[in-house]
Structure 1
Amino acid sequence: MASDRDILPDSVKPSHYAISLYDLEHGGGFSYQGTVTIDLEIKKSSKEIVLNANQLKIHGAELKTEHTKTEQAFKASDISYNADKQRATLGFGEELPVTSKASLVIKFQGTINNLMAGFYRSRYKPTVTPAPSVAKDDEFHYMFSTQFESCDARRAFPCFDEPNLKATFDVELEIPEDQIALSNMPEKEVKKSSKSGMKVVSFERSPIMSTYLLAWAIGDFDYVEDFTKRKYNGKNLPVRVYTTKGLKDQGRFALENAHQIVDYFSEIFRLEYPLPKVDLLAVHEFSHGAMENWGLITYRTTAVLFNEKESAQSYKNRVAYVVAHELAHQWFGNLVTMDWWNELWLNEGFATWVGWLAIDHFYPEWNVWGQFVSESVQTAFELDSLRNSHPIEVPVRDALEVDQIFDHISYRKGSSVIRMLSAHLTNDVFLKGVSDYLHAHKFSNATTDDLWSALSKASGKDVNSFMDFWIRKIGFPVVTVAEEPGQIGVRQERFLLTGDVKPEEDETVWWIPLGLQTGPNATTHKVTAITSKQETIRDVDESFYKINADQTGFYRTNYPPERLGKLGAAKGRLSIEDKIGLVGDAYALGISGHGKTTGFLALVQSFQEENNYLVWSQILANLGNIRMTFSGVDDVSKALKKFMLKLVTPAVEKIGWEFKDGEDYLTGQLRVLLIGHAGSAGHEGIIKEATRRFELYTSGADKTAIHPSLRGAIFRIAVTQGGQAAYDAVKTEYGTTSSIDGKEICLQALGRVQTPDLVAAYLAFIFSPAVAVQDKHSGAASLAANSKARLELWKFVRDNWDAVLFPELSGNMVVLERFVRIGLSKFASLEVADEIRDFFAKKDCRGFDRGLRVVDDTVRSQALYRMRDEAVVREWLGANGYL
């Protein structure tokens, strides 16, 4: 595998970094000076040292060596850069001796950029008067923090920026006296600087870790604090949530979760949290959801802050999960790190699964495994059913390729496959194997095979033999069922959304846990797994059977149409996860041609009396996608709207508008979901009441007229129905909201504009300085989901790519890839697919080329589906009175 990687020469190996940053310019160019001293082992004689540096200016470098007790010093006489490879070569003009004791001192200059990568600045509008020294411009103040994963430590200081080149770190920061500095480890010393008004903060030495986990932050911070209940080395660990001043109280919910989760993971991993503190930091501009820097975890504000009175309840769920996910990384990723980025899934897939495990432990009433099936499993299916998917473990050559695999395959398919394996082995056995793996490889690097070996030993089963294809092969199977008296035949093949799998694409024989329950008591069948292309399963009770119980297996099931109807009628015997899987499978099989869209429509009609939010969420997400696909077919589009209206009307009228004291979380979420979809389907009573509440709220007459959780639904209805006036009111709300989640909610609503002039106005707004770079893809997503705006968005991309979009977004390829993939994948037109392909064929697409392939595959599959099923959908809608 190493030969496939574009990695640094192996002539030197770092063991320790001492980093000192000073002369930080808090305005204008935001530059800084730095010195890094790197302790090295020189393993091979050479005249040069190659290391990573990106957008840094190296002033000079000197190497000191100790060889046979003789000290020598070498000055770099030639410093050259390779911008494409993000490397600097230090030429010394003479051979450097092989030695285990060498020290490289580099003086350099960098920039605190605004790209949300490396050492960067985040703008914000303070809620209280900041410290005088805080950097500011006319409208915003700034905090400074880092984001080094995957390959951006090299933007902040010269280093050997690869995950298996672990080292220890000392960090020293010169900052204004009235600000706070944070890093991975606790503060060691604070001393006065020689510069007036400045101080120098140094931190304890870190454990050995990868460069991407190093972090520091500087700002006008405050915090809330609690302590673990367990003792670590005889002490209760301090756990803090840091924010810029004025926001700390909104960190209390995250804090309440964090200290308990640290104890929970220490218990189930049978390995204590290894650092002396846990800090969580809210960062105002952030490209991802959060980052697991060891001991200093950074978060997008909406992923860590929550206000019980102002925030939508859905963000409570989000905060709890993201806190758990990042804390899981403190063991799985930080303590034990993947050897190379091709095994990113080892970090992300596991942290996703165990994050949900923790939330299920603390919030069993949330039914998080139902949420997992609806969100993680179904979302992973969507991407993995494309030809241009990739295996969970995927070859990665260099930095630009790494960022593109932080996707639903690494996170959601990875976690789904782990859930499947854990269900097969049992959670207790699985976690015992994980604990053994962590103990065996702590403070080091490991591979997928290392994990399989530990799990095999713990379970007594050859885990690699049945999991290898799931990790290293592309795609997943559909299991097609054929019924015979007293038995069923099952056949597996690769599932593609286009339904046209070729023989050479269908050579994998997956190990598939059958999860068959049958008979009046839904007894678990003795056959546990399918291990060949076709098998016959005997002793199946025809009165009732269901494959893939609780949807723990990562595959779709294609039942005969009559059986699908029977399962719909017997839905009272199904778990929440089973219902979600049944609906999701029927929808996807209709698109692929294994089934028909009419089978899905007939099935969901039987769920009209359903009262579970997670099941409704799956139904309405799938139905919404069908409506979007047929949005260009006028008569079918109108009929599908009538179908949705009839489907949701009884449920929305039953649940009502008011949130009751003591009402459970899922009921509140169901209310939000149903009101939003009933409004989009044209429910007159819902639209009238939403409009009334909107006018009271936006006029200032009654700010309690809209419950915080209903802002999104009501704002969307208002913008759809209310034209310029409603658009202006929500845009004003965007600029004035004090709620942490307010801007996200407003952006999603503003994308519902219905006229070309308002679409143009919204696009201009998205790309104005008023909207942070991190949020621009949210604006694109809301327009892409709007049939009245989709083509205008594509036209905007074409007309403004070179002058606006690429210059503004390409500084952070994660943001650019997300904008392109989300913004352009909602079409169902071969013509548009050709236009997109032709347009980007003339562009440099490195860094988002994988996203473009996903767009192409998605749009073409939706177009082929629309053309194939249009007539039969029209016929069914007509026969059932909707046309």
Structure 2
Amino acid sequence: LFGEKKGKKKEVATLPSHSMSFYFIFYASRFRDRLPGYLVPEFYNITLWPRLKPNPNSNLYIFTGWSAVQFECLEATDLILIHSNKLNYTEMKDEHFVKGVSVPNIKSTWLQLQTQYLVIQLMGKLTPGQKYQLHAQFTGELADDLAGFYRSEYKEDGVTKIVATSQMHPTNARKTFPCFDEPAIKAVFHLTLIHPTGTIALSNGMEMETATITVDGETLLQTTFEATEKMSTYLLAIIVSDYIRIWARKKAIKEGQGNYALNVTGPILDFFQAYYNISYPLRKSDQIALPDFYFGAMENWGLVTYRETNLLYDPETSSNSNKETTVTIIAHELAHMWFGNLVTLRWWNEVWLNEGFASYVSYLGADYAEPDWNVKDLIVLDDVQKVFAVDALVSSHPLTSKEDSINLPGQIMEQFDTISYSKVHTANLTMQDNNVSLPRQVDAIMNRWVRQMGFPVVTIDTSTGIVSQNHFLLVPESNVTVESPYKYEWMIPVRWMKDGATKDIWWLLEKKGLNVDMRTGPSWVLANINVTGYYRVNYDLGNWERLFSHRASVIPLINRAQLVDDAFNLASANYKYLLCLQIHIREQVLVHFTFIIHPNLRSAVYCSAVAAGGEAEWNFTWSQLQDATVASEANKLMLALACSNNTQLLERYLEFTLDPAKIRKQDATAVITAVANNRAGQNLTWQFVTKNWEHMFTEYGVGSFSFASLISGVTARFSTPQELQQLLDFEEEHKDAGFGSAALAVDQALERTQANIKWVQRNKQDVLQWFRSQTGN
């Protein structure tokens, strides 16, 4: 606990425990999970000096910092509440920037851990309408935890190199400097970085000046950046490295791995400037590939950060899928330069407005950059079908939550899930039917999609003409405990065709709201043309048979994928007409592989080779992974190692995930999940996770995006009562510590396991009988 009188340094002091209790109780009623709003920042002056070598005494990598934030006082107060986490303060003072105006001295300071507030108690009150500056000097650890200002390591030509980089989103700026760390509280940032000679410093703005300075006999560089636009704290980016533009490892750039990203960035920026009808507001648009990064990428304004696999592309070894990933992720992040950065959500309960929209327009930007790919068709496969799987659970959640229910960092991180990113409703709301002018009903339509969880299944009976809707649930008999003011009814645009000819749109408003004359005879009916509506479709048995037996070329391409996905999932949910639905594979394709393996086939070939081989093959693949210089190639090899049928090798591989020198922290979840997806490794993985949960919970961070993915991935195949009991025991054992951002994932894992058990019990005999009838065995 630190206190300081203006102009005079005070020794660090610690209050007795009983005094702390008194202060906490006295002020508890004044603390909220959100900042009170009576102090409004205008700008920050920040100087940071990251050490790229460990301290010889502590062996820790550290950074030191100096900051000043100027803010206006709106209401009289004797408390300054500002976010801070894991920083050690050596000096602090409160100043008035107008001479002659007295400033109350700092009486005491302390950290409120739950809200991550640095609480500064003053001797008197600040005056409304006046502006003040809070100055602080501090030290933090440049840790390898992938959050805030952190350390990334890699090897190049046998030499270990260090990158100081940042990930402020969503609540980690406070881990770098004291700040008002909420998305709506925007300010201008003036940044200076002190860094070793031979390195470059990057931030959101252009570099204004780099000078040589001497500190304690050490020659260093000091780079000053232009002031940023007024922006949220989570968009700040700070990097010190020896990279070159497009920013990446020197060797990767020399090999041309940044060329593709450079070629598509310009066209994508041009597209969004025209799409938004607003010019790109900054003077630069840097992009950097980092060896260690939890997220896929981050839309820092003017300096976008990426995992190497998502920005770098090698035409010799990368697949078409890698190329598609690169262009769509670049488009997603650049879309944020306007929608998210220029215009920002007020609070984290509306994450879908930011991420869902960026997910949608990323396909538009990628389509502009690569017009021959038909990349927009992938929305259904990559987003809609993926989010259906989660949104069919009663443990799902609406797109928007109540603002006061999302406060703490763990709750904020939970919002960044498949629902927020992929639940994209693209129906054309300007369509009209014969009776209703729909534009004036946009609120009524959208609220049903935004404020209630889940989605409907539209059932069409072509023999009677009855069209109805129901809340689609993976387990139809589930008890939905979350009430909805809309009673889980949606206003649904039903586009349809008959025998290939497109018909008028219907608007289905109630559970049994339409009776349409569609007596088809030998004809077929197909609804939700091109999957522009967010719902599944079920038909009577006769129409299903006509659809599956008809020539595929007449049915739109996207709907072919929809029919297969809907059929399987409706069968899983035990819907009428589809129980043991028979889908025949009529052709088998034999692929001939040569020793020089095509990039598009490498994932399958590597996995098959490791699965068929033994320890020698596994060790060879591991050695190839160590030597890989292309990130996408390394990723293929890393996942292939999880394909082994040798349980001892899989156990060894799981243990590797606890050692960042073998498996990077950013990749640990992917490796563990890959082993769990291997039938031979499913039980091993669950035993590994339960045994090492406490270590992983601490080491990977309660708030990491991958943490929820770990729970979901490891339990995805659970389908027996024994596995359900293991999951319940796991939940009970760790309920006191909680699961942080993975709490919702645990609920979903329990529900999905229960659904899998019911499906197996209900259908296993029918499925077994069908297989026997087809194979004679």
The alpha-carbon deviation at position 502 of structure 1 amounts to 4.6
Paired letter, 2:279:
E
- Taking the aligned partners of 1:270 and 1:405, their CA distance within structure 2 comes to 30
The alpha-carbon deviation at position 535 of structure 1 amounts to 2.4
- Taking the aligned partners of 2:613 and 2:251, their CA distance within structure 1 comes to 35
Q: 2:409 aligns with which of 395, 399, 415?
A: 399
Map residues 469-868 of structure 1 onto 2, 5 A cutoff.
469-484=448-463, 488-502=465-479, 507-518=487-498, 520-525=499-504, 527-540=505-518, 542=520, 543-570=523-550, 571-595=552-576, 599-600=580-581, 602-605=582-585, 608=586, 649=588, 652-653=589-590, 656-657=591-592, 705-768=596-659, 769-802=661-694, 804-810=695-701, 813-843=704-734, 844=737, 845-868=739-762
- Taking the aligned partners of 1:532 and 1:762, their CA distance within structure 2 comes to 53
Map residues 293-372 of structure 1 onto 2, 5 A cutoff.
293-372=300-379
Structure 1 residues 126, 304: closer, same or farther in 2, change over 3 A? same
1:192 aligns with 2:212: yes
Paired letter, 2:653:
Y
- Taking the aligned partners of 1:39 and 1:720, their CA distance within structure 2 comes to 61
Task: Provide the secondary structure at the position in 2 that maps to 1:860.
Answer: helix
Structure 1 residues 219, 23: closer, same or farther in 2, change over 3 A? closer
Structure 2: gaps of 5 or more residues: 1-29
The alpha-carbon deviation at position 93 of structure 1 amounts to 2.1
Cα deviation code 1:251-310 (max 9, x no counterpart): 110111111111110001111111111000111101010000000000000000001012
The alpha-carbon deviation at position 481 of structure 1 amounts to 1.7
Q: Could you say which residue in structure 1 is the equivalent of 2:96?
A: 65
Q: Is this contact kept in 2: 1:24–1:174, CA < 8 A?
A: no
Cα deviation code 1:719-741 (max 9, x no counterpart): 11112222222112111222221
Q: Is this contact kept in 1: 2:105–2:124, CA < 8 A?
A: no
Paired letter, 2:672:
A
Q: 1:464 aligns with which of 431, 443, 452?
A: 443
Structure 1 residues 812, 112: closer, same or farther in 2, change over 3 A? farther
1:260 aligns with 2:267: yes
Q: Could you say which residue in structure 2 is the equivalent of 1:376?
A: 383
Paired letter, 1:262:
L
Task: Provide the secondary structure at the position in 2 that maps to 1:751.
Answer: helix
Q: Is this contact kept in 2: 1:753–1:759, CA < 8 A?
A: yes
- Taking the aligned partners of 2:396 and 2:707, their CA distance within structure 1 comes to 19
1:103 aligns with 2:133: yes
- Taking the aligned partners of 1:41 and 1:792, their CA distance within structure 2 comes to 57
Structure 1 residues 536, 392: closer, same or farther in 2, change over 3 A? same
Structure 1 residues 25, 732: closer, same or farther in 2, change over 3 A? closer
The alpha-carbon deviation at position 83 of structure 1 amounts to 2.2
Structure 1 residues 14, 4: closer, same or farther in 2, change over 3 A? closer
Q: Is this contact kept in 1: 2:429–2:442, CA < 8 A?
A: no
Q: Could you say which residue in structure 2 is the equivalent of 1:51?
A: 82
Paired letter, 2:120:
L
The alpha-carbon deviation at position 425 of structure 1 amounts to 4.0
Task: Provide the secondary structure at the position in 2 that maps to 1:247.
Answer: helix
Structure 1: gaps of 5 or more residues: 130-138, 224-240, 430-456, 609-646, 658-688, 694-703
More displaced 10-residue stretch of structure 1: 96-105 or 344-353 = 96-105
Structure 1 residues 538, 820: closer, same or farther in 2, change over 3 A? closer
The alpha-carbon deviation at position 405 of structure 1 amounts to 1.7
Structure 1 residues 841, 30: closer, same or farther in 2, change over 3 A? same
Q: Is this contact kept in 1: 2:456–2:470, CA < 8 A?
A: yes
Cα deviation code 1:663-714 (max 9, x no counterpart): xxxxxxxxxxxxxxxxxxxxxxxxxx5xxx5xxxxxxxxxx62223322111
Task: Provide the secondary structure at the position in 2 that maps to 1:508.
Answer: coil
- Taking the aligned partners of 1:853 and 1:117, their CA distance within structure 2 comes to 26
Q: TM-score, normalised by structure 1?
A: 0.79
Task: Provide the secondary structure at the position in 2 that maps to 1:34.
Answer: strand
Paired letter, 1:84:
Q
Paired letter, 2:53:
H
- Taking the aligned partners of 2:696 and 2:607, their CA distance within structure 1 comes to 26
Q: Is this contact kept in 2: 1:561–1:599, CA < 8 A?
A: no
Task: Provide the secondary structure at the position in 2 that maps to 1:585.
Answer: helix
Report sequence identity in percent: 29
1:873 aligns with 2:767: yes
The alpha-carbon deviation at position 25 of structure 1 amounts to 5.2
Q: Could you say which residue in structure 1 is the equivalent of 2:183?
A: 163
The alpha-carbon deviation at position 469 of structure 1 amounts to 1.2
Q: Is this contact kept in 1: 2:413–2:703, CA < 8 A?
A: no
Map residues 243-258 of structure 1 onto 2, 5 A cutoff.
243-248=248-253, 249-258=256-265
Q: Could you say which residue in structure 2 is the equivalent of 1:173?
A: 193
Considering only aligned residues, what root-mean-square deviation do their CA atoms show, in Å? Answer: 2.3
- Taking the aligned partners of 2:562 and 2:52, their CA distance within structure 1 comes to 55
Q: Is this contact kept in 2: 1:60–1:76, CA < 8 A?
A: no
Q: Could you say which residue in structure 1 is the equivalent of 2:151?
A: 121
The alpha-carbon deviation at position 166 of structure 1 amounts to 0.6
| Structure with the larger helix share | 1
Q: Is this contact kept in 2: 1:747–1:782, CA < 8 A?
A: no
- Taking the aligned partners of 2:763 and 2:373, their CA distance within structure 1 comes to 37
Task: Provide the secondary structure at the position in 2 that maps to 1:750.
Answer: helix
The alpha-carbon deviation at position 216 of structure 1 amounts to 1.2
Q: Could you say which residue in structure 2 is the equivalent of 1:217?
A: 239
The alpha-carbon deviation at position 597 of structure 1 amounts to 6.5
Cα deviation code 1:131-163 (max 9, x no counterpart): xxxxxxxx6321111101110001111100000
Structure 1 residues 190, 503: closer, same or farther in 2, change over 3 A? closer
- Taking the aligned partners of 2:32 and 2:380, their CA distance within structure 1 comes to 35
1:93 aligns with 2:115: no
- Taking the aligned partners of 1:572 and 1:815, their CA distance within structure 2 comes to 40
- Taking the aligned partners of 1:556 and 1:744, their CA distance within structure 2 comes to 34
Structure 1 residues 596, 721: closer, same or farther in 2, change over 3 A? farther
- Taking the aligned partners of 2:134 and 2:770, their CA distance within structure 1 comes to 74
- Count of equivalent residues: 724
- Taking the aligned partners of 1:516 and 1:847, their CA distance within structure 2 comes to 41
